[in-house]
């Protein structure tokens, strides 16, 4: 290789001097006008400390609080109310003492006193359905929100508390010091919302055909807020978009529902023999040994019989969950139930689906299988799935996640028929919501602050899982070309990924699509699979069952890969810049024994400085005034006396046989109308129809943010040059990506 390098250096010695001489003044001007896109991110990232290190790992003083719950909950199905009482044991692991505690009351967003509807812009609809008009202007708002009956200490004495919208501050009788615990009880009830009418991430769906309700119950209990080293108390109000920040803890939950309901929830079911029939118990035992196909535990016939009964009796389901950040419940007499075992590494879990008959045949065929595939795919990139189960609930118009359980849309029509859109939509949402077990249920980021840290990372992992599940899967978020319409949009409607959840206007594009695309580009184009996968797995294992920040992710990805990514985070996450790289011009050069006039003048100046460069090789641009038709021939070393003499005297016959002998020389000028710096990917097409891909790192733009040159020395004549041929850099305008210039139907094609 060193011989080839020496020859190329000789050929282009003077040619390169000429380019540098031409570009230096332009670069000096650009350095004054443009910020440094490769500036290190000391100005943007939090200062490392003993809690969170400069490597992106938890520091020696890292801590997190713990909140343990013992809870009794009862569903009033006839009146759609939920009653509950809980005892919370809170452990202060912070070095500082706490004067009070903050508890989240997210159900208060459904209260008639909620401020959420008042912060949204509201125009008059020119036309509305009669039901919508009635609900908006004629009917009273849904009467939701927590009704707190008491807050008491461990001795049963009332504790002082104050409610501010969706947050409750509990006053402590004395400060809670480092290492101390406090136990207190809260009793509450609330009206459950019909989420299909009143909105919400949970609630119930009513079936007019049989009079039953299907419940997906979450945010149903007062939940401890996070206290940490980054913000102290994360007590930002729940406005609806920013989701949740929660500490880990252990849960013991008893749930009383009508006796004819089938129920699932976070954690291990402790009394299965009391709530399942003997036949259902036998089927579940079979499912625990079935790793290839789901087993129907509660049959459609059993579900259809139950949905006609409306039992007045009650049944209590008992669950225990360790080291989870939240708890979710789903119950209905309409549920069919199937399950199968899933092995990820050294752990075995259950994949479980619950769905009404309205979900069949789609759900019976696909739901549990995509759960199992998701757990395997995500585990391969992070860690073995640690929880005992993952549950998918079929609920109309829903897509929401909690530890071990999630609710998902997707049903066939009344005749049981469905198209690919319905099928893949259902598969995609199940994959996504089950995947949330990893991000943020285990890798527990602050959703109230940074939606992208769970939705963006999870959408990227969903993209990988869907690709491996079905090669024909219609991938939505992840492929670079899919984000182009968003990134090329009006800048007035965009904000950086690093924007608080409540201030994002295009939620799906900003918090889901763009970060998923960014990670895909990192893996495919910038870092490569091996470096990316190692770093990503390092991040996942460093921060599983902990609370990472964006800085922890950024730093770990660099720390574990030795790839400087500050330019990437700065551009993709902190700006709304878009990528647009084009081919400005292509010049063809020929080797000559005689210098051009420009070279002659330059050499005269150099000689006045007593510089003797020795024998030279000269390059003449095709079409220039020094160009002669006889130059138009493939380059051969033996045609040029000085170069041939050098090669003969410096290399023996064996070494000369290994030298490159390019025949054609092309100087390509790449310009960058877009503000984002990205790698340059070039596909060269030769006269014989063969192609070659060459990639140049993003750092090629470090000295000149507007345009750069590259010379291609090739064995064959180049007939076409194309940038980003596989559309992997989210280039927003491909009309300037080819030479010779081609007509392009659409810049998104």
pLDDT band, residue 598 (cuts 50/70/90)? confident
510 burial level (CB within 10 Å; 0-12, 13-18, 19+): buried
Domain residues of the chain, as ranges? 64-270+319-327, 280-310+335-444, 446-577, 581-597+616-645+652-739
pLDDT value for 117: 75
Closest of 678, 434, 383, 374 to residue 536, by C-alpha: 383
pLDDT value for 745: 53
Query: Is residue 199 predicted with pLDDT exceeding 50?
Result: yes
Query: Is residue 21 predicted with pLDDT exceeding 80?
Result: no
Share above pLDDT 90 across residues of the chain, in percent, rounded to a whole number: 81
Q: Give the C-alpha separation, 728 to 611, whole Å.
A: 47
Query: Is residue 214 predicted with pLDDT exceeding 60?
Result: yes
- Mean per-residue pLDDT, 120-128: 84
Query: Is residue 15 predicted with pLDDT exceeding 80?
Result: no
Alpha helices by DSSP H, listed for 392-481, are: 420-435, 452-469
- Mean per-residue pLDDT, 588-607: 80
pLDDT band, residue 612 (cuts 50/70/90)? low
Query: Is residue 239 predicted with pLDDT exceeding 80?
Result: yes
pLDDT value for 250: 98
Angle between helical axes of 566-574 and 550-559 (0-180°, round to 10): 150
Closest of 167, 331, 297 to residue 234, by C-alpha: 167
pLDDT band, residue 610 (cuts 50/70/90)? low
Query: Is residue 580 predicted with pLDDT exceeding 50?
Result: yes
CATH topology match: 64-270+319-327 vs 581-597+616-645+652-739: yes
Q: Give the C-alpha separation, 605 to 613, whole Å.
A: 12
Residue corresponding to tokens 């020795």:
614
pTM, two decimals, is: 0.91
pLDDT value for 607: 58
Chain CA centroid to CA 745, Å: 31
What is 64-270+319-327's CATH number, 2.60.40, 1.10.3470, 2.30.29, 3.30.70? 2.60.40
Residue 444 has which token pair? 């527990």
Half-sphere exposure of 209 (CA within 13 A, CB side): 8
Residue-averaged pLDDT of the chain:
92
pLDDT value for 749: 43
Q: pLDDT tens across 509-567, in order?
A: 999 999 999 999 999 999 999 999 999 999 999 999 999 999 999 999 999 999 999 99
By the 8 A CB rule, do 326 and 266 touch? Answer: yes
- Mean per-residue pLDDT, 97-108: 96
| CATH code of the region 280-310+335-444 | 1.10.390.10
What is 446-577's CATH number, 3.30.70.580, 1.20.120.80, 1.10.390.10, 3.20.20.80? 1.10.390.10
Q: Coil, strand, or helix at residue 667?
A: strand
At the topology level, CATH places domain 581-597+616-645+652-739 in: Immunoglobulin-like (2.60.40)
Query: Residue 207 — φ and ψ, nearest 5°?
Result: -105, 110
Q: pLDDT tens across 411-422, in order?
A: 999 999 999 999
């Amino acid at each position: 290789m060193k011989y080839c390098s020496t020859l190329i250096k000789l050929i282009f010695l003077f040619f390169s001097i000429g380019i540098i001489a031409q570009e230096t003044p332009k670069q000096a001007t650009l350095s004054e006008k443009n910020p440094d896109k490769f500036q290190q991110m000391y100005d943007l990232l939090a200062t490392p400390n003993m809690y969170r290190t400069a490597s992106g790992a938890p520091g020696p003083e890292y801590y997190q609080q713990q909140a343990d719950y013992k809870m009794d909950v009862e569903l009033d199905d006839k009146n759609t109310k939920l009653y509950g009482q809980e005892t919370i044991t809170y452990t202060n692991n912070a070095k500082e003492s706490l004067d009070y505690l903050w508890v989240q009351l997210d159900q208060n967003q459904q209260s008639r006193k909620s401020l959420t509807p008042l912060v949204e812009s509201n125009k008059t609809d020119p036309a509305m359905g009669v039901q919508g008009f009635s609900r908006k202007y004629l009917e009273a708002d849904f009467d939701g929100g927590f009704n707190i009956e008491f807050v008491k200490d461990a001795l049963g004495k009332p504790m002082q508390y104050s409610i501010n919208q969706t947050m409750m501050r509990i006053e402590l009788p004395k400060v809670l010091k480092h290492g101390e615990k406090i136990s207190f009880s809260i009793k509450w009830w609330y009206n459950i919302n019909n989420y299909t009418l009143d909105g919400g991430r949970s609630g119930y769906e009513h079936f007019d055909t049989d009079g039953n309700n299907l419940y997906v119950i979450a945010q149903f209990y007062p939940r401890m807020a996070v206290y940490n080293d980054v913000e102290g108390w994360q007590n930002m109000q729940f406005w609806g978009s920013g989701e949740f920040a929660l500490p880990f803890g252990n849960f013991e939950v008893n749930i009383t529902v009508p006796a004819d309901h089938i129920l699932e929830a976070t954690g291990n079911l402790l009394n299965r023999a009391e709530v399942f029939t003997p036949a259902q118990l036998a089927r579940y035992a079979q499912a625990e040994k079935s790793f290839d196909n789901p087993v129907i535990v509660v049959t459609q016939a059993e579900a259809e019989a139950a949905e006609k009964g409306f039992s007045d009796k009650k049944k209590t389901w008992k669950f225990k969950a360790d080291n989870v950040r939240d708890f979710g419940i789903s119950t209905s007499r309409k549920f069919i139930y199937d399950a199968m075992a899933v092995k990820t590494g050294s752990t075995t879990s259950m994949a479980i689906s619950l769905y009404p008959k309205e979900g069949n045949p789609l759900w019976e065929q696909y739901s549990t299988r995509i759960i199992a595939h998701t757990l395997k795919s995500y585990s391969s990139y992070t860690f073995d799935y640690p929880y005992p189960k993952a549950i998918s609930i079929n609920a109309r118009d829903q897509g929401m996640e909690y530890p071990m359980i999630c609710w998902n849309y997707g049903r066939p029509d009344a005749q049981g028929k469905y198209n690919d859109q319905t099928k893949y939509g259902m598969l995609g949402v199940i994959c996504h919501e089950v995947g949330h077990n990893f991000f943020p249920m285990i890798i527990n980021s602050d959703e109230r602050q940074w939606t992208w840290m769970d939705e963006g990372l999870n959408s990227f992992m969903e993209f990988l899982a869907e690709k491996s599940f079905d090669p024909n899967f219609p991938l939505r978020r992840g492929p670079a070309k899919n984000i182009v319409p968003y990134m090329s949009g009006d800048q007035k409607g965009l904000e950086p990924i690093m924007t608080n959840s409540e201030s994002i206007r295009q939620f799906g594009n900003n918090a889901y699509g763009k970060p998923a695309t960014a990670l895909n580009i990192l893996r495919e184009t910038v870092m490569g699979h091996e470096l990316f996968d190692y770093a990503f797995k390092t991040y996942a294992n460093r921060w599983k069952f902990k609370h990472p920040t964006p800085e922890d992710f950024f730093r770990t990805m660099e720390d574990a890969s030795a790839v400087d990514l500050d330019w990437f985070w700065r551009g993709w996450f902190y700006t709304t810049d878009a990528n647009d790289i084009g081919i400005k011009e292509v010049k063809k050069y020929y080797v000559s024994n005689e210098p051009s006039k420009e070279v002659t003048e330059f050499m005269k100046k150099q000689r006045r400085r007593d510089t003797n460069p020795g024998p030279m090789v000269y390059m003449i641009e095709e079409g220039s005034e020094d160009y002669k038709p006889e130059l138009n021939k493939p380059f051969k070393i033996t045609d040029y006396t000085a170069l041939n003499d050098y090669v003969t005297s410096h290399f023996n016959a064996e070494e000369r046989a290994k030298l490159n002998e390019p025949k054609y020389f092309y100087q390509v000028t790449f310009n960058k109308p877009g503000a984002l710096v990205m790698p340059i990917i070039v596909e060269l097409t030769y006269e014989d129809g063969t192609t070659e891909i060459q990639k140049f790192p993003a750092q090629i733009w470090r000295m000149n943010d507007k345009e750069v040159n590259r010379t291609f020395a090739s064995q064959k004549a180049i007939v076409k040059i194309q940038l980003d041929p596989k559309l992997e850099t989210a280039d927003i305008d491909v009309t300037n990506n080819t030479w010779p210039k081609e007509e392009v139907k659409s810049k998104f094609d």
